[in-house]
Amino acid sequence: MTGGNLPKGPAAPSGPISTTKAAAKPLAPYDVASARRTRIPVWAMPVVAILPLWAFLYAGTMTKPPSTTLTLVEAGSEVYGAAGCAGCHGAGGGGGVGPALAKGAVIATYPNPVDQVRWLILGSAGGGELYAKAGKASKGGMPAFGKTLTLDQIVEVVLHERQTISGQKPEADAEGWADLRKVPEEFPDLGYTKDQVERILEEISAQEGVTIPEGE
């Protein structure tokens, strides 16, 4: 038998050979979420970059500003300058046209702080007797501040002169301040009220940490 006479096998099918494509693997849930998430536009990237800085600066604006409320003594320092006291007695109370207030001088003249309040209200014209109590003769140069300053301002000046300038301790004046309750009746034409006096005494007590005796 020769090679040309070998039996032929079945013929190959004609046309393209079809193949079955494997099914795609399902995406994980986090991949699906990532694909659906809105992308940040390129133009917005600088804004995103400065957000932490903006948050820091904004937080700074939420900080409570320091208090600007003056204490009675601090307010008295301002009134002392504005009312012209420094022009006569010196910025530090060393004296000049008017007598010295520093180094205990004003305490020696007015052991009771309310006598000093009366002196500022009356001035030389009406308060000569008060000045004489300290063994001094009034020369008539002290103006009366009863109608130009409020009672609050007069008390503030007295506190400044006694404590800041003359070195008086708050507790040393606590009992004497109780006499402020007599001032409305002594000066009815100035419109001082008992409620006003009690408020002032409460402020002194709270700020100075002292106990002022109760009124009758």
**Cα distance between residue 182 and residue 187, in whole Å:** 9
Buried b (16+ CB within 10 A) or exposed e, 165-186: bbebebeebbebbbbbbebbee
Residue 137 has pLDDT above 80, yes or no: no
Tell me the pLDDT band of 125, cut-offs 50, 70 and 90: confident
For residues 41 and 128, which has the higher predicted lDDT (pLDDT)?
Answer: 128
pLDDT of 16: 57
| Helix/strand/coil percent split, the chain, to 5 | 55, 0, 45
Mean pLDDT in residue range 168-197:
97
pLDDT of 20: 55
Residue 61 has pLDDT above 50, yes or no: yes
CA quadruple 136, 140, 141, 143: dihedral sign: positive
pLDDT of 133: 73
C-alpha R_g of the chain: 45
